Chain A
Amino acid sequence: MMVTYKVRKEKAHALFPVQRVYAIRLCIVLAICVLAGVLSPFGYHDSWSILYQTLGGGVFATDGSVPSAFAILLCVTPTFIFCYLFSDYLRNSLEHAGAYVFTRTIKRGNWLRIRLIQLGGFVCAYSFSGGVFVGALLFLQKGMLGDATVQGWQVVFNFFLPAVTLNMLMLLALLIPVNILALRLHPLAGFITVMAFYFASLLLCASAPHSITANWAPLLPTTQGVFAWHDTVFTQIMFSPGVIEGFSLGQSYAYLLVLVAFEIVFSVVSIKRIELL
């Protein structure tokens, strides 16, 4: 008599214990984002300038003068906390289920693909909901934009969406090497090395004169995520002092996409070579 077993298909959308932990971590970071939004009005006149400073990265576009330390802290802290809390995503997944999964799957790449898609989902959720939360909070606190010539839809399409998408790609480009280094070396090592390089390059670009930043910013991977440096019609009208001529959004999107693709290839190679024992 032939015995048949019913195989329950794993629901792709279900949150397993590891993912549940990270969902809670995501909520914590979003709460910190909102807190930063509540604290940020100090020293600014309207919600527009706060959004420009935080979401658009305007705090770094200072044209040579050293940016305010607390403004930088307020701007980068949620990103740093997010990266720290998600720095061991691959490592934790591997420790919890890697040994069982790798012995059953033919290709390790499949496991990594699913994990990277989940990581991308968390990054998307953080970028968009964080931006929406902070924006909504600021508009509620301070009223609508001070400049009457700027329409709401124009803001959404020309500022909010490009800034959030750039932030999202930048976060993904940061998180993949952080996770791979955490997997290969030490949980703290990946986070600290990548973030130190990221922060140092932003700080140096911000405090350098505009002529030097204009030469370096389009080349460095870490500066591509700062919207305020990009040369668009909208930034020319609204943030003209910080804009770098010829630094286009399309170029940054392409740069970040190529970078993320390269990191994915590198992580596949890295996962294939890892010793499970």
Chain B
Amino acid sequence: MSAYQLKCFLINRLTIIVVVAIALIQVYRFATYDALRFHVENPDPFAFYFLVTPIEMIIFVMVPLYTIFSIPAIHMLENANFCTRLKNRENTVYRYSLLVFLQAVIFAIFINIMSLLILLIKSPLVFDLTVIAFISLATIVLDTLFFSICALLLLAVYALTKKIQLAALVLFCYAIWDFLIDHIPGYVGILPTIGWRLTEIQCPASLYDVFVKALPLLSLTALLIWINLLVARHRDFARASEI
């Protein structure tokens, strides 16, 4: 991947506006977070880490912002020059997957950096730095997988329907699934969690626990890449006007 491609992909008006919005929201989150929420009786760093990033904030704020963040990648796929240079359609999907993986890493770091700062600065408790580093890294990995799934789902629906609004709506439905089954009495623990809840790890956690949590996310990622490959064989990404 050339430096020019990366620059076009990462530095554009849409990504800049998303970064500014996230920065404003994170600063505000930091300012309004109250130290009283840290319960001294039960100093569990895992619980605190996920307490400062509530699921409502992810579903209703971060996932929609990520939708805008991944629109440039879809526009890049629609560019006829980009598609023809990659020789075949499968390569286009693999390149897109790589690009969104990079994007997802950046986005996951954006989200987790403020949780980490809140935990380290606002908390009256002192945590073991190795534990905090482990939680942060594990969460960044799991968040990256979650956001990669979001981008691949967005592409699959967009390639099928050519409607970005519909694709965004389907993505929102996927993201809200975990939130809904948390809040509908009688369904907690019965219906499977397939989204954000899979990124939350409980104390005590080891590398094996992270792998167990990552496995369904990895399976979903692989499934969506396969679906995108199938779609790419039958649908053109490039716009008809550009060919």
Contact = CB atoms under 8 A, between A and B. Distances in A.
Contacts of B168: 188, 192
Contacts of B21: 193, 196-197
A69 interface: yes
Nearest to B167: A188
Contact of B32 (A188, A192, A197, A208): A208
Contacts of B56: 69, 72, 203
A197 B31 contact: no
Interface string A201-234: 1011101110011001000000000000000000
B61 interface: yes
A188 B68 contact: yes
B60 interface: yes
State the main secondary structure of chain A at its contact with B.
Answer: helix
A70 B181 CA distance: 12
Interface in B175-210: 179, 183
B34 A200 contact: no
B18 interface: yes
A187 interface: yes
B17 A193 contact: yes
Contact of B18 (A69, A193, A195, A209): A193
B29 A192 contact: no
Interface in B97-135: none
A188 B71 contact: yes
A65 B34 CA distance: 12
Nearest to A192: B64
Nearest to A195: B64
A69 B179 contact: yes
B14 interface: yes
Nearest to A181: B17
A200 B34 CA distance: 16
A216 B31 CA distance: 9
14 contacts: A186-B14, A186-B71, A187-B165, A188-B165, A189-B17, A192-B65, A192-B68, A193-B18, A195-B64, A196-B61, A196-B64, A200-B57, A201-B25, A209-B36
